[in-house]
């Protein structure tokens, strides 16, 4: 299994701080958000890690990767750079995934992780489920709020199988949302190219899952430990203060 960490966005909702620092490198508890993400991937014994990012912030990610390596923390992390420098040029997550699969020559089962989320749980539970079923699998979290769910990819689920998916719905059918953690078997990686070729929305992974669920069985694994999408300045401030000076 290989891991792809998505860092290609420009995080305009967190401006002005993200005019200078990419969201995945913002600090929480004295460490960049990415530190926690990569530690969890390493803990899951996934050896190859690829980052996808944009041209604007590529130097900052290269510096972060070199710092981790020089500290003896990691084997090399690979970086794939999309030729984009501002919001109007961005690929969108699905197009970026497809671009990176091609550029990095990914041919194995793939763990895809949003680089800007912060969570305390490990990845072992969702990986174990995926390895047993060999089905596309999404890590889920119950927000327990229909209002909050309108900002995310919302799922309905029965016996671990997704029965529906809504991307940022005005009227959510549940409070269960995607955490931006996905697993796909290697034989399905071509689905990303097929999706893009058919002219579908290249942005949020939820649109891809809406398309995929019509002809494929997708599984979900629910986590209960804290999960935060660092999508707004208010959320970032809340998480920053909650984990101030914590390990």
Q: Does residue 147 lie in a domain region? A: no
Question: Tell me, what's the pLDDT at 68?
Answer: 82
Domain that holds residue 102: 2-138+180-212
Q: Does residue 244 lie in a domain region? A: no
Q: Does residue 237 lie in a domain region? A: no
pLDDT in tens, 228-243: 999 889 999 999 998 8
pLDDT in tens, 199-231: 999 988 889 999 999 999 999 999 998 999 998
Question: Can you give the pTM of this predicted structure?
Answer: 0.93
- State mean pLDDT over 99-128: 96
Question: Tell me, what's the pLDDT at 137?
Answer: 98
108: domain CATH number is 3.90.550.10
Q: How many domains does one find in the chain?
A: 1
pLDDT of 106 above 80: yes
Q: Does residue 88 lie in a domain region? A: yes
Q: Does residue 37 lie in a domain region? A: yes
Q: Does residue 171 lie in a domain region? A: no
Q: What is the 3-state secondary structure (H, E, C) of the chain?
A: CEEEEEECCCCHHHCCHHHCCCHHHCEECCEEHHHHHHHHHHHCCCCEEEEEEECCCHHHHHHHHHHHHHCCCCCCCEEEEECCCCHHHCCCHHHHHHHHHHHHCCCCCEEEEECCEEECCCCHHHHHHHHHHCCCEEEEEECCCHHHHCCCEEEEEECCEEEEEEECCCCCCCCEEEEEEEEECHHHCHHHHHHHHCCCCCCCHHHHHHHHCCCCCCEEEEECCCEEECCCHHHHHHHHHHCCCCC
pLDDT in tens, 34-66: 999 999 999 999 989 999 999 999 999 999 998
Q: What percent of the chain has pLDDT over 90?
A: 76
Backbone φ and ψ for 47, nearest 5 degrees, come out as -80, -45
Question: Tell me, what's the pLDDT at 245?
Answer: 56
pLDDT bucket at 72, cuts 50 / 70 / 90: low
Q: Does residue 198 lie in a domain region? A: yes
pLDDT in tens, 2-21: 999 999 888 888 889 999 99
Q: Does residue 218 lie in a domain region? A: no
Q: How many residues does the chain have?
A: 247
Question: Tell me, what's the pLDDT at 107?
Answer: 95
Backbone φ and ψ for 190, nearest 5 degrees, come out as -65, -15
């Amino acid at each position: 299994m290989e891991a792809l960490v998505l860092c290609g966005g420009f995080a305009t909702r967190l401006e002005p701080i993200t005019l200078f620092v990419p969201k995945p490198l913002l600090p929480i508890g004295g460490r960049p958000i990415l530190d926690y993400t990569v530690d969890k991937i390493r803990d899951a014994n996934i050896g190859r890690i690829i980052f996808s990012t944009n041209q604007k912030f590529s130097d900052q990610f290269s510096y972060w990767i070199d710092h981790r390596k020089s500290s003896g923390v990691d084997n090399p992390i690979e970086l794939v750079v999309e030729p984009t420098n501002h919001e109007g040029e961005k690929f969108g997550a699905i197009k970026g995934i497809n671009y990176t699969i091609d550029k990095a020559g990914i041919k194995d089962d793939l763990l895809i992780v949003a680089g800007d989320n912060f969570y305390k749980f490990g990845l072992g539970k969702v990986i174990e489920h995926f390895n047993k079923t060999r089905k596309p699998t999404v890590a889920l979290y119950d927000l327990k709020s229909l209002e909050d769910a309108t900002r995310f990819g919302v799922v309905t689920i029965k016996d671990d199988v997704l029965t529906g998916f809504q991307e940022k719905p005005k009227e959510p059918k549940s409070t269960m949302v995607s955490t931006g953690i996905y697993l796909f078997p290697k034989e399905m990686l071509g689905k990303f190219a097929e999706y893009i070729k058919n002219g579908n929305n290249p942005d949020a992974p939820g649109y891809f899952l809406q398309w995929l669920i019509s002809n494929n069985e997708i599984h979900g694994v629910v986590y209960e430990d804290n999960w935060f999408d660092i999508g707004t300045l208010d959320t970032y401030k809340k998480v920053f203060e909650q984990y101030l000076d914590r390990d």
